[in-house]
């Protein structure tokens, strides 16, 4: 089940990346680049930092194929994707939870401490979006708005708590997914965001 959710999350992230390319009026290659970068970018960053080679997205080319299919869907049906964007965001929230849990579990397997586990979990879930935004010269969405990366960090902490209780791999993963995605859903439905830093004039 986790593997299926991982693939589904990769597809949804790829669709989101490809759709961002259409907003910038990029060509076919641009759509594919953003789809792949968003779909597997977080996993590639995670594996690079952990020294896990070959990276999971390259070891199993199914992930790249799924990203390409997501990009093709956007090219073929961009207007319909736009109309169904709320459903895409719903699936994106689930993908956020799945990638957070998988990233946190892999970090634990590599012996990282609590902070490292939370960071790797969040990078796995949000790294692709950061790469996507950098490629189109935008401020990464995770540091600009929405309760997104924060939900992922808390989800990583939830995984650590469940792991400390030795609840078993499946329960630990599902607990992290439920906490992360649940927080993201709550933020989406209630328009919750972190306080923004106001700019004040410095005294001369």
Tokens 């070891």 locate to 59
| pLDDT tens-place string over residues 127-177 | 998 998 899 888 887 777 668 889 999 999 999 999 999 999 889 999 999
Q: Give the whole-angstrom CA distance, residue 71 versus residue 170.
A: 31
Q: Is 14 exposed, middle or buried (0-12, 13-18, 19+ CB in 10 A)?
A: buried
The pLDDT mean for the chain works out to: 87
- pLDDT above 90: residue 60: no
Kindly report the CA angle at 62 between 59 and 64, in degrees rounded to 5?
85
Q: How many residues appear in the chain?
A: 204
pTM of the model: 0.86
């Amino acid at each position: 089940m986790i593997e299926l959710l991982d693939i589904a999350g990769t597809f949804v992230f790829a669709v989101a990346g490809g759709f961002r390319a259409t907003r910038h009026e990029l060509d076919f290659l641009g759509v594919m680049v953003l789809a792949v970068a968003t779909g597997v970018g977080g996993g590639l960053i995670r594996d690079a930092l952990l020294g896990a080679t070959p990276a999971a997205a390259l070891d199993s080319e199914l992930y790249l194929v799924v990203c390409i299919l997501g990009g093709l869907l956007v090219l073929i049906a961009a207007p319909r994707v736009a109309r169904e964007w709320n459903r895409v965001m719903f699936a994106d929230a689930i993908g956020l939870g799945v990638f957070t849990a998988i990233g946190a579990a892999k970090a634990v397997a590599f012996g990282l401490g609590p902070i490292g586990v939370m960071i790797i979990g969040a990078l796995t879930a949000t790294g692709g979006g950061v790469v996507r935004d950098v490629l189109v010269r935008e401020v990464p969405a995770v540091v600009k708005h929405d309760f997104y990366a924060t939900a992922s960090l808390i989800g990583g902490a939830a995984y650590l708590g469940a792991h400390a209780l030795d609840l078993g791999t499946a329960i630990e993963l599902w607990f992290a997914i439920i906490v992360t995605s649940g927080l993201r859903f709550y933020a989406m439905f209630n328009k919750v965001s972190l306080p923004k830093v106001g700019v004040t004039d410095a005294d001369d």
